[in-house]
Amino acid sequence: MNGLKMANEAISRSSLQGNAADIVKELTNFNFNWMQNIRNEYNNKDFGYVFEKYINN
């Protein structure tokens, strides 16, 4: 939903040259991929290193 909202806001602030549907699709895909990459980078599911650090100190 955030990706669609961001794409809509970007399009409403600019003038378009070309097919609006394709531009919205490209912006939405870019935003989705960017958010997925950020989530994968910062969402840690393995906290083993924290427990090892706690146990060893």
Average pLDDT of the segment spanning 37-52: 83
Q: Report how far residue 17's alpha carbon sits from residue 24's, in angstroms, rounded to the nearest whole number.
A: 12
pLDDT, tens only, 25-36: 887 788 889 889
Is the confidence at residue 10, as pLDDT, over 80?
Answer: no
Q: Report how far residue 39's alpha carbon sits from residue 25's, in angstroms, rounded to the nearest whole number.
A: 21
* Entry pTM: 0.52
Is the confidence at residue 3, as pLDDT, over 70?
Answer: no
Question: Do 27 and 2 contact (CB within 8 A), yes or no?
Answer: no
Q: Please give the C-alpha separations between residue 6 and each of 15, 48, 57, in angstroms, as whole numbers.
A: 16, 36, 46
Domain of 44 in residue numbering reads as 2-56
Is the confidence at residue 55, as pLDDT, over 80?
Answer: yes
Q: Residue 16 has what pLDDT?
A: 67
Q: Which residues lie below 8 Å from residue 16, measured CB to CB, with a gap of 6+?
A: 23
Q: Residue 37 has what pLDDT?
A: 92
Domain count, the chain: 1
Q: Report how far residue 36's alpha carbon sits from residue 34's, in angstroms, rounded to the nearest whole number.
A: 5
